[in-house]
């Protein structure tokens, strides 16, 4: 049996690309890492494996705590982590969701070809940068008061449709149709609402971006056709989240948990895994607030997308409807959702060979830097894609391709219907700024790859330099080989704006 040892954690290879940390001591379940040996070597360079092992101590952890191929160290719970916690006897953990609630991605198709965009790249990137707010602090596409924020938190993209920032088809091609049931704006603090009211329709900073891309490869013609993708087509990828409102909401509930559930905290190896017991008032309050922040993030991306349509109209002199600028899909990354899954009874893992009695259980499925990846036929896949499977969007770095996948048939058994969310960081932001100079990165991307980048500062570009990330091709290859997310198409950057 092949083993891998790093930082005091021993993993045994269960089968190709599946590595397991055996249950021992006070661990409630084993832990699993889904990775090639090359990716596992990179994952082991920080505290990811320790954090994953710590996560198995969360009450109600079911089957395994799981790390995706793009995993890296996060706050308490690793980024790229999936944890399914029993919704009756377990808990819900803000640290296992993340500060940027519903950080996610959406892709918009167009009928433009790369040839039609060539020669317009600089005009396009300048116009996008001018018209779409980015960077730290306030400033959004729309000015709203608290009453509007309340509506957005409660209704999600329905609010954008009613106010002229969306069309009906946008809702039909968004996870949950852009509205989370169970959202409770009253559980979001006034401070969070005040932070959010001036940020609706803005990218923010860090790794958030808007990127115009061209489709370079279609690997599955049938699914590609269902997704409306073909080679040489121009698409737009938007990656951002719930801005200051989501961050404040996470922080508020972490502090409340520290005050109200100290007993549970003392049972955990890391207080950053702070969790509220299922059924407690605080768990219910956080779930309502988190769902409201999810709605806020969907509206944020919707407004950015609709403004992008207007920018394309000005640059290319055609209506966005004529350019067929339609939403392919929007999927969340940092989220915990109540879902019903088939699991082994009495907490025993199912689906790996041994005959295990199974049952249906309602779980809080935490996906932190992981993407829902439901297969074809699943009732929660939008009707437009139910015959082929849910679209999954995997962004790469500025100098690498991104991917569109579809939910794989093995995802429900292996990962609670989940796969990776991106390339995954290799290097901290501080180290990146020491190793790279933003101006050099920008110049190299433009001269070598004809990729045009514009950001609020050179430091932002340095933090997101291509060498800062894992190999997205390898991440996607492992997902595809495991059958949790199947390759459909690959894209390559044309121009990129970021905070």
**Cβ(319)–Cβ(313) below 8 Å:** yes
pLDDT of the residue at 357: 81
User: Over the stretch 59-115, which tens digit does the pLDDT of each residue have?
Assistant: 999 999 999 999 999 999 999 999 999 999 999 999 999 999 999 999 999 999 999
Which of 367, 398, 362, 343 minimizes the C-alpha distance to 485? 367
**Strands, sheet with 3-6, edge to edge from the N-terminal-most edge strand:** 3-6, 9-15, 18-21, 31-34, 61-72, 79-86, 358-368, 335-344
Q: Which residues of 192-227 are buried (b: 16+ CB within 10 A; e: fewer)?
A: bbebbbbbbbbbbbbbbbbbbbbbeebebeebbebb
Q: Average pLDDT, whole number, for the chain?
A: 94
Which of 179, 200, 173 minimizes the C-alpha distance to 106? 173
pTM above 0.85, yes or no: yes
Q: Is 334 known to sit in a ligand binding site?
A: yes
Contacts of 154 (CB under 8 A, 6+ apart): 183, 185, 292, 295
**Cβ(61)–Cβ(268) below 8 Å:** no
pLDDT of the residue at 139: 84
User: Over the stretch 262-278, which tens digit does the pLDDT of each residue have?
Assistant: 999 999 999 999 999 99
Q: Which of 72, 165, 306, 421 does the annotation list as catalytic?
A: 421
Task: Report which secondary-structure segment, H or E, holds 490.
Answer: strand 485-498
What is d(CA 231, CA 218) in angstroms, rounded to the nearest whole number? 6
pLDDT of the residue at 349: 56
Which of 277, 234, 272 minimizes the C-alpha distance to 255? 272
Task: Give the largest CA-CA distance in the chain.
Answer: 65
What is d(CA 290, CA 473) in angstroms, rounded to the nearest whole number? 32
User: Over the stretch 316-374, which tens digit does the pLDDT of each residue have?
Assistant: 999 999 999 999 999 999 999 999 999 986 555 555 555 568 899 999 999 999 999 99
SS3 string of 187-254? HCCHHHHHHHCCCCCCCCCCCCEEEEEEEEEECCHHHHHHHCCCCCEEEEEEEECCHHHHHHHHHHHH
Every domain of the chain and the residues it spans: 103-339+366-426+469-498
Q: Is 173 known to sit in a ligand binding site?
A: no
**Higher-pLDDT residue of 137, 327:** 327
Q: Is 498 known to sit in a ligand binding site?
A: yes
Q: Which residues of 54-66 are buried (b: 16+ CB within 10 A; e: fewer)?
A: bbbbbbbbbbbbb
Handedness of CA 444, 446, 451, 453 (dihedral sign): positive
pLDDT of the residue at 355: 55
421 included as an active-site residue: yes
Q: Is 198 known to sit in a ligand binding site?
A: no
What is d(CA 486, CA 407) in angstroms, rounded to the nearest whole number? 6
Q: Encoding tokens for residue 282?
A: 């605080």
Q: Return the CATH architecture of domain 103-339+366-426+469-498.
A: Alpha-Beta Complex (3.90)
User: Over the stretch 162-213, which tens digit does the pLDDT of each residue have?
Assistant: 999 999 999 999 999 999 999 999 999 999 999 999 999 999 988 899 999 9
């Amino acid at each position: 049996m092949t083993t891998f040892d790093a930082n005091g954690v021993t993993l045994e290879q269960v089968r190709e690309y599946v590595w397991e940390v055996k249950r021992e001591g006070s661990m409630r379940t084993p832990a699993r890492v889904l990775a090639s040996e090359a990716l596992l070597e990179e994952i082991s360079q920080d505290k990811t494996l320790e954090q994953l092992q710590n996560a198995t101590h969360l009450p109600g952890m079911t089957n395994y705590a799981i790390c995706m191929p793009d995993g890296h160290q996060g706050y308490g719970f690793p980024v790229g982590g999936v944890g399914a916690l029993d919704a009756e006897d377990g808990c819900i953990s803000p640290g296992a969701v993340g500060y940027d609630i519903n950080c996610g991605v959406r892709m918009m198709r167009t009928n433009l070809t790369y040839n039609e965009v060539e020669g317009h790249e600089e005009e396009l990137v300048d116009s996008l940068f001018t018209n779409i707010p980015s960077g730290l602090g306030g400033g959004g596409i729309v000015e709203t008061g608290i009453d509007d924020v309340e509506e957005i938190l409660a209704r999600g993209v329905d609010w954008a449709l009613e106010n002229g920032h969306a069309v009906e088809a946008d809702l039909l091609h968004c996870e949950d149709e852009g509205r989370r049931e169970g959202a409770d704006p009253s559980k979001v603090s006034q401070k969070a609402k005040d932070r959010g009211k001036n940020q609706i329709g803005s990218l923010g900073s860090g790794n958030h971006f808007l990127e115009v891309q061209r489709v370079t490869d279609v690997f599955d013609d049938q699914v590609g056709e269902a997704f409306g993708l073909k080679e040489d087509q121009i698409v737009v990828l938007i990656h951002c989240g719930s801005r200051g409102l989501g961050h404040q909401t996470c922080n508020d509930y972490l502090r409340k948990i520290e005050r109200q559930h100290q007993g549970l905290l003392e049972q955990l190896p890391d207080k950053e895994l702070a969790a509220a017991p299922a059924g407690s008032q605080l768990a219910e309050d956080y779930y309502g607030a988190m769902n409201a922040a999810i709605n806020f993030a969907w509206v944020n991306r919707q407004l950015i997308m609709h403004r992008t349509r207007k920018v394309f109209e000005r640059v290319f002199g055609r209506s966005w409807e004529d350019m067929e600028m339609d939403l392919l899909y929007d999927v969340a990354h940092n989220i915990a959702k109540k879902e019903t899954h088939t699991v082994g009874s009495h907490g025993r893992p199912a689906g790996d060979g041994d005959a295990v009695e199974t049952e249906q259980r309602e779980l809080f499925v935490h996906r932190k830097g992981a993407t829902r990846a439901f297969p074809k036929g699943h009732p929660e896949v939008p009707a437009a894609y139910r015959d082929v499977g849910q679209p999954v969007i995997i962004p790469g770095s500025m100098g690498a391709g991104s991917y569109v996948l579809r939910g794989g048939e093995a995802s429900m058994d292996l990962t609670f219907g989940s796969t990776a969310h991106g390339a995954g960081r290799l290097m901290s932001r501080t180290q990146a700024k020491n190793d790279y100079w933003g101006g050099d990165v920008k110049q190299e991307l433009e001269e070598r790859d004809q990729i045009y980048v514009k950001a609020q500062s050179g430091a932002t570009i340095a933090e997101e330099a291509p060498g800062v990330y894992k190999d997205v091709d390898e991440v996607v290859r492992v997902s595809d080989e495991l059958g949790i997310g199947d390759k459909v198409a690959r894209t390559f950057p044309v121009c990129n704006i970021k905070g």
